[in-house]
Structure 1
Amino acid sequence: MSSDSSRSLRTAWLVVVLLLPVALLNYLDRQMLATMKSSVMESIPSIQSNENWGLMLGQFKWVYAFLSPVGGYLADRFSRRYAICGSLFVWSAVTWWTGHVTTFNELLWARTLMGISEAFYIPAALALISDYHTGATRSRAVGLHQMAIYLGVITGGFSGYVADAPHLGWRFAFDACGLFGMFYAVPLVMLLRDAPRQMSADGRIVARATVSDAMFSLLTNLSFILLVLYFTLPALAGWVVRDWMPAILKEQFHIGQGQAGVSAAVYWQVAAIVAAIFGGWLADRWMRTNIRGRIYVSAIGMLLIIPAMFGVGNAGSLGIAVACLVLFGLGWGLFDGNNMPILCQIVRPELRATGYGIMNLVSISCGGLADWGFGRMRDAQVPLNVIFGVFASAAIVSVVLVLLIRPRAELARG
């Protein structure tokens, strides 16, 4: 390997390392609210019902989803670096404010602002990583970034103990995370750099697409439409598992808030970390011999999610529920770590953040409906096995969808 290649590879991995704390905070701030549900509802009586709680969770997702394509397009058009750092600072300030709200309406506004600010991060971050990491390391790099997301969920799972601690409480957790994020945004903006602009075959810098050009290119791409649907269907289960599982386990098995948070988040997220690392390595290796290697690894992950969802809905003990969640985590890690790498095989580099933003728009909008709908169904006493049976059926459809995607040879390793 030449010295220039070695330096470029170090820079590429430095970008991933710099983004790890940001990815962790991105999901820690979300998971804490789900884990500390009992404490927050006790402290803010005006929330009143599970339906209102689900509405608040859904409000975040709908705003986040609507603005994800906007954040992605701005990152493609102007700067991924500034989209990332600005997003981190603003959502951290909102996180701090969340620890000081006293009414349901204030909490709803806080989650709305959280959705606005966080919408600019994930599309820009994954596109930046993909800019620096070509086909040889792309799945591993994205998998490592997703690992930090899972660590954020794991850390958030322990926040129930913080909420229950007499001298700390749920407000302290939001204060601490908000302040750390605001401080980290300052060195990040100085150290992070956008990748060099893409060059065309004749040596010219690739022009940045207009809004109309970007939408036309993406929405007339059948493989992209299939990927959007594939990305969306498992998210119905994914968001409910993240947002509602602590409360589900607490109610079903009569355990404390701290134990429920750990059981609902830690084990399956650890499994997802293992799967993301292994899946990244396997996908990169499979790509050496088969252009569909990343698609096959992702499909394997989806096949694991199907029995996991049936199992969660029918678990008769906490141990069985956790085991099914671990299986879900293994499948999720294989699936989640390969979505952006698959996108890179079907969409031009200058459209990647916009494309991922559209994927977020559809997926998370549906996830918000799932949160709200799940709250209504729980209030109506709909059995869990019925709800999770629907999620398993959606995963079956997803396997078919991903296998229909056709990667483009000229994009597969670039």
Structure 2
Amino acid sequence: MANSKTSNSYYPWLVVGMLWIVAFLNYFDRILITSMRDPIVSDFHLSDAQFGLLTSAFLWSYGILSPLGGYFADKYGRKSVIVFSVSVWSAVTIWTGFVTSYNEMLVARIIMGISEACYIPAALALITDYHKGRTRSLATGLHISGLYAGLTLGGLGGYIAELWGWRYGFQVFGLFGIFYAVILLFLLRDTSKASDTQPEAIKTLERQVNLVDSFKVLFSESSFRILLFYFCALGIVNWLIYGWLPTFLKEHFHLGLGEAGFSATGYVQVGSFIGVICGGLLADRWSRSNSKGRLYIVIIGFTLGAPFLFLMASTSVFLIGIMAMLVYGISRGFNDANLMPILCQIVDSRYIATGYGFLNFLSTIIGGIMVYVGGMLKDAHVDLSIIYQVSAVLMLIATWSLFAIKIKKTSY
């Protein structure tokens, strides 16, 4: 058994480092398929609708199962759920590299969505178990940066497909994921096994957690309901950016397809990398003197960032648009570093992962719907600039609703 000194020194940061790699794989494996569109469509003779369904099926299964994944992490422990999740989605990634039909690939994407849904709530809960007040936001932010890296580098799938064929990428990264799951099995520990000086962590994991009771407790909290409204607005805006920003930049600023695609992910992601680090450091420092420090960092972030999203949709100067995307990305990073720590301050500690899972569920489902609604509005000749302007106003209103949240816990 590790001693207290070991648990309180390097190991909590080792947990962040180990899970950073998993976070990278989480987004890289899921996004790989989008950058390999042409050879996959050619191999299986797919229509655009059929190819789009591969992503939609993933999102639906991922969103619907997220609350259940969080519940499993609360009930059975974070490590078990994390290792199970990585193992299954990596096996499915390998399977994707060997599929022989479109229907088989569709089933693989659904199973991948189910397995990946278990990871994020469990991982963030484990990180906040290890990282208390002084390091919680920074640790969360560093982990989230792994998701950004996976999303950004997922575009390499196109180059992999050109050099070795589209199946090769799935097979190689799937095998790496299986190997890494074995490493996690031996190195990763729940806090209940990290030290015999943490009786509260042990008690938390040993309590009986019931799914129905979890939802009753969570939804009885007015602050959690406010967070749900905020997260819905955030999901709408983020998925409109994921789904339609390349098209907007191409049409609005008259960019080429490649430049528009790179700009849509590159500038926002760079800003987000900066935001999770700076937002994490600032929030950890502010929270030492003010229990609402983390909450205020998120509010300040989008109070500044939402108007810049509006500016991006309004300007005709691409350089100003780049600056606006960077600032909005920073504000999103402020949010991502602090959302889970804020949740830890307002809900019962037994239901942290379940609560985050439900937030993930609502954001993904509503966001996925909004990608479709954005297409409908565009078909109805509603300019994307108007859609982004309205989204910016909605984001600002939702952000200011966070002032009504009541913080219950001031130290950890």
TM-score when normalising by structure 1:
0.88
The residue number in structure 1 matching 2:55 is: 57
Question: Is the alpha carbon distance of 1:159 and 1:304 closer, same or farther for their aligned partners in structure 2, counting shifts above 3 Å?
Answer: farther
The residue number in structure 2 matching 1:16 is: 16
Whole-Å separation in 2 of the counterparts to 1:377 and 1:173: 36
The residue number in structure 2 matching 1:281 is: 281
Kindly provide the CA deviation profile for residues 241-290 of structure 1, in whole angstroms up to 9, marking residues without a partner as x.
Answer: 23444455456645254x44432223321211111011011001111111
Whole-Å separation in 2 of the counterparts to 1:392 and 1:102: 44
The residue number in structure 2 matching 1:168 is: 164
Question: Is the alpha carbon distance of 1:309 and 1:315 closer, same or farther for their aligned partners in structure 2, counting shifts above 3 Å?
Answer: same
Specify which of 121, 125, 128 is matched with residue 126 of structure 2.
128
1:45-194 correspondence runs (5 A): 45-49=45-49, 54-101=52-99, 105-163=103-161, 165=162, 167-194=163-190
Structure 1 residue 173: deviation in Å? 2.9
Kindly provide the CA deviation profile for residues 52-96 of structure 1, in whole angstroms up to 9, marking residues without a partner as x.
Answer: 555543332221111111111111111210111111111122223
Question: Is the alpha carbon distance of 1:223 and 1:262 closer, same or farther for their aligned partners in structure 2, counting shifts above 3 Å?
Answer: same
Identity of aligned residues (%): 41
Whole-Å separation in 2 of the counterparts to 1:243 and 1:260: 13
Contact 2:67 2:354 (C-alpha < 8 Å) held by counterparts: yes
Whole-Å separation in 2 of the counterparts to 1:327 and 1:382: 26
Question: Which amino acid is 2:265 matched to?
Answer: A
1:363-378 correspondence runs (5 A): 363-378=363-378
The residue number in structure 2 matching 1:263 is: 263
TM-score when normalising by structure 2:
0.89
Contact 1:273 1:333 (C-alpha < 8 Å) held by counterparts: yes
Whole-Å separation in 1 of the counterparts to 2:312 and 2:61: 29
Kindly provide the CA deviation profile for residues 130-187 of structure 1, in whole angstroms up to 9, marking residues without a partner as x.
Answer: 1111112111110110111111112124444444x3x234443333322221221111
SS at match of 2:288: coil
Structure 1 residue 232: deviation in Å? 2.0
Question: Is the alpha carbon distance of 1:304 and 1:355 closer, same or farther for their aligned partners in structure 2, counting shifts above 3 Å?
Answer: same
Question: Which amino acid is 1:361 matched to?
Answer: F
- Count, aligned residues: 404
1:312-351 correspondence runs (5 A): 312-314=312-314, 316=316, 319-351=319-351
Question: Is the alpha carbon distance of 1:116 and 1:206 closer, same or farther for their aligned partners in structure 2, counting shifts above 3 Å?
Answer: closer
Structure 1 residue 367: deviation in Å? 1.3
2:356 is equivalent to residue 360 of structure 1: no
SS at match of 2:10: helix
Whole-Å separation in 2 of the counterparts to 1:334 and 1:204: 29
Contact 1:96 1:175 (C-alpha < 8 Å) held by counterparts: yes
Whole-Å separation in 1 of the counterparts to 2:30 and 2:305: 22
Structure 2 residue runs of 5 or longer lacking an equivalent are none
Kindly provide the CA deviation profile for residues 110-140 of structure 1, in whole angstroms up to 9, marking residues without a partner as x.
Answer: 3211210101000000000111111121111
Whole-Å separation in 1 of the counterparts to 2:242 and 2:106: 19
| RMSD, aligned CA | 2.7
Contact 1:34 1:242 (C-alpha < 8 Å) held by counterparts: no
Segment of structure 1 superposing worse, 141-150 or 39-48: 39-48
Question: Which amino acid is 1:337 matched to?
Answer: A
Segment of structure 1 superposing worse, 118-127 or 99-108: 99-108
Contact 2:294 2:342 (C-alpha < 8 Å) held by counterparts: yes
SS at match of 1:337: helix
Whole-Å separation in 2 of the counterparts to 1:322 and 1:100: 40
Whole-Å separation in 1 of the counterparts to 2:326 and 2:167: 30
Structure 1 residue runs of 5 or longer lacking an equivalent are none
Whole-Å separation in 2 of the counterparts to 1:55 and 1:380: 22
